[in-house]
Chains A and B, each alone.
Chain A
Amino acid sequence: MLELVWLIPALPLLGFLILVFGGKRIGEPNAGRLGAAMVGASFLVTVGVFFDLLSRHGEQRSFTRVLFTWLPSGGLKVNAAILADPLSITMALFVTGIGTLIHIYAIGYMHGDERFARFFVYMNLFVFSMLALILGDSFLTMFLGWEGVGACSYLLISFWFERDSAASAGKKAFVVNRVGDFGLMMAMFLIFSKAGSLTYANVFEFAKAGSFTRTAATAACLLLFVGAIGKSAQLPLYVWLPDAMEGPTPVSALIHAATMVTAGVYLMVRIHPLFLVASPNALHVVAWVGALTALFAATIACAQDDIKRVLAYSTMSQLGYMFLAVGVGANTAAIFHMVTHAFFKALMFLGAGSVIHGMHDEQNIKKMGNLRKWMPITFITYLVGWLAIAGIPPFAGFWSKDDILLAAYRDNKVLWLMALFTAILTAYYMSRQFFLVFFGKERFLHDAQTVAAIGPNDAHVRDHPHESPPTMWLPLVALAGLALVGGAINLPFNAKTEFLGKWLESVDLGGRPILAGGALKYGLAAVTVVLGLVGVAIAYNFWLRTNDARAQAALEPALLQRAYGVDGLYSAVIETPGRLLSAWLAFVFDRKIIDGAVNGLGLVVRFAGGKLRKLQTGYVRNYALGIAGGMVLLLAYALARAGIQ
């Protein structure tokens, strides 16, 4: 099975190729089915590879399959090669698994879209790129996928490009990511200039041999982290993610929640051997950025009305948790949270998509309410997601978040407190959203006056919310199941139940083992759960029970609603000056000064010509004077010369 590992990325690529050339002819819904089938097949292969690897031990668990030499030049030799080890296969499993579900979901969600087939073109390309990112055996193949997912993200965010906001959001995502990519590229150059290779194995061996200087390793780690910040929407390069919600919801679920945005975390985990030789401050930076982002995003999420924006900030916040985990050395916990988060966040996004779909493209949670009556399946599955993210046992989120908090507690109390506070906020804003959407009054039912105003045939009036078709709710159910039991892959009770930890052991993730057992552990878990419940309670009190408008307004300060005004700040500090500078360069410096100098030479010639021309008066005696003058000068020269000698 291991030999077939190349099929994992190849199948979605094949799907992409078929769809790009024949997608339109295949049409709806077969294009979607084909896309989903390809990803599904890829998932099956991944499962096969997984079991094959599982049956091996130690070194045997890492397998590299070289396909061909990609970039050979001078000392540089990069292969197109696939690295199958527990880390990459874990990632591949949930990427293809969740990918399949979301593809299926999208068949329903994208129903009737005029560019139905093209959606799956992009989606399959995305899955391929994501798999290249994960399975690449070198920094460069990883970078291939890294940029590929970025491009797909761009294409999918601006999928509905008729909307200017969607088009802008796509562009913003790509450009901001490029800032991060700059760091990533510099890191690669640095690594290559030191280690002479970009293959993970060689680089890490080089690192283990102690050949990296501490400074170089630190610089490389931090530069790679810059890339991770961009891709995983951390401070300060997160600004693209909330806007990315302009994309179709399956995209948000797959790319901007479950998979692509976790690439940064994957990268940080992957380069663990480098962190070992780097200054500890490098990891501190990672931890702090993660914790700050987690808290920062959570506060914003409390005041958002758009159902998807809440989830977007929540994603940022959860990703912050993962970086925190990496930063405090709990790589396994980071991966664990990545997996569980993929389950419940994909679930919630798809649920949100179902709600939006049922509500006829309404995204404002303030205009929803009591949807449990209209969309029971969506409600139930969303409920699971809500409990999971809020950290209520035994749902998946509890286990993974608890691991992270534990590691943070042991490493740095301040970080732990920040993470803990974030946990309260998480529980609060998710509950707020949950209550507003599924409970309370049906705010979308309009009074007679409004109906009269917008007309009886408006879709909002004519159609009630409805439950989504089975292609959409089946994936919801499946994800809900995963969100419910996903925590089981790494139970902290003893070494035996830490399945994920054991599985990942062969990949050198280093770090200290998470405390197994002990009062502290259970105590901390209890604190987390209780505080989570507090968050839920506050939300319940203000958003469902009292439903006091003034109190609600107080909980949504403008500063948070505007997301601290960071977009405006960036615009004022970077975009506007940049644009002014460019305009000055283009229209003043380039046109007037540089080109002006060029044209100026022509003008000088013309000016001189104009002056000289005046000498040509047309009068014979002036001409004779010219000759005589020349003669006199020549004679003067002659005499001077004679005089000198």
Chain B
Amino acid sequence: MNLVAATTSVPGAWYLAVAAVLFTIGAVGLLSRRNVLVMFMCVELMLNAVNLTFVTFARMLDDIGGQVLVFFTLVVAAAEVVVGLAIIVSIFRGRVEGATADSANILKG
């Protein structure tokens, strides 16, 4: 396995594991929380987990490309935030119950 060959110390895999855990937490959060804002934050968490993975791999593979990718992710995440928040605000503006995802279910079946 090239991973083993490329890394001389154990910690690389640990970072990956941390990233995976973060990603999972994000995913589980998205599934379990009802507030759209929180769900959105969970997505951000997942993206950051990916960022961590990228950086780790970059280190392990000794390839600068992996670190550059993080910048792209950050830009995209920022764009997503802008649009996403706008959508969320426009929908849940003035609703008593707050930004609860469950209140959006006219469409189903």
Contacts and interface: CB of A to CB of B under 8 A. Distances in A.
Q: Say if the two chains contact directly (CB < 8 Å).
A: yes
Interface of A: 613, 616-621, 624-625, 628
Given A618-B106, A621-B34, 4 more contacts: A619-B105, A620-B36, A621-B30, A621-B31
B105 A617 contact: yes
Nearest to A631: B27
B101 A619 contact: yes
A616 B101 contact: no
Contacts of B31: 621, 624-625, 628
A620 B39 CA distance: 10
Contacts of A616: 108-109
A206 B90 CA distance: 101
Interface in B22-52: 27, 30-34, 36, 39
Contacts of A620: 36, 39, 101-102, 104
28 contacts: A613-B109, A616-B108, A616-B109, A617-B105, A617-B108, A618-B105, A618-B106, A618-B107, A618-B108, A619-B101, A619-B105, A620-B36, A620-B39, A620-B102, A620-B104, A621-B30, A621-B31, A621-B32, A621-B33, A621-B34, A621-B39, A621-B101, A621-B102, A624-B30, A624-B31, A625-B31, A628-B27, A628-B31
A311 to B, nearest CB: 80
Contacts of A628: 27, 31
Interface residues of B, number: 16
Contacts of A618: 104-109
Nearest to B36: A620
Most chain A CB inside 10 Å of its own CB: which residue of B32, B36, B102, B107:
B102
Contacts of B27: 628
Contacts of B32: 621
Interface in B91-107: 101-102, 104-107
Contacts of A621: 30-34, 39, 101-102
Contacts of B102: 619-621
B84 to A, nearest CB: 13
A625 B28 CA distance: 9
Contacts of B34: 621
A618 B36 CA distance: 15
Nearest to B107: A618
Contacts, number: 33
A625 B27 CA distance: 9
B83 to A, nearest CB: 17
Contacts of B33: 621
Contacts of A625: 31
Nearest to B103: A619
Contacts of A619: 101-102, 105, 108
Nearest to A620: B101
Most chain B CB inside 10 Å of its own CB: which residue of A613, A620, A625:
A620
What are the nearest 6 A-B pairs in CB distance?
Answer: A618-B108, A618-B105, A620-B101, A625-B31, A624-B31, A613-B109
A596 B24 CA distance: 50
A410 B77 CA distance: 119
Contacts of A617: 105, 108
A177 to B, nearest CB: 64
Contacts of B109: 613, 616, 618
Contacts of B106: 618
Contacts of A613: 109
Contacts of B108: 616-619
Contacts of B104: 618, 620
A7 to B, nearest CB: 83
B95 to A, nearest CB: 15
A507 B93 CA distance: 113
Nearest to B30: A624
A624 B106 CA distance: 17
A638 to B, nearest CB: 14
B22 to A, nearest CB: 15
A447 to B, nearest CB: 88
Interface string B3-37: 00000000000000000000000010011111010
Contacts of A624: 30-31
B9 to A, nearest CB: 24
Nearest to A629: B31
B21 to A, nearest CB: 14
A455 to B, nearest CB: 79
B108 to A, nearest CB: 3
A405 B2 CA distance: 115
Nearest to A613: B109
B102 to A, nearest CB: 6
B101 to A, nearest CB: 5
A301 B61 CA distance: 115
A101 B36 CA distance: 107
Interface in B45-84: none
A437 B86 CA distance: 114
A241 B101 CA distance: 87
A611 to B, nearest CB: 12
A628 B43 CA distance: 13
A617 B30 CA distance: 17
Contacts of B101: 619-621
A617 B105 CA distance: 8
A613 B30 CA distance: 23
Contacts of B30: 621, 624
A324 B69 CA distance: 111
A354 to B, nearest CB: 85
B87 to A, nearest CB: 13
A620 B33 CA distance: 10
A618 B102 CA distance: 8
A617 B106 CA distance: 10
A616 B32 CA distance: 17
A365 B30 CA distance: 103
Most chain B CB inside 10 Å of its own CB: which residue of A616, A617, A621:
A621
A617 B101 CA distance: 13
A574 B109 CA distance: 57
A628 B24 CA distance: 10
Nearest to B101: A620
A621 B39 CA distance: 9
A624 B31 CA distance: 6
A617 B109 CA distance: 6
B27 to A, nearest CB: 6
A232 B104 CA distance: 87
A621 B106 CA distance: 14
B33 to A, nearest CB: 8
Contacts of B105: 617-619
A625 B34 CA distance: 13
Contacts of B39: 620-621
A13 to B, nearest CB: 73
A621 B109 CA distance: 15
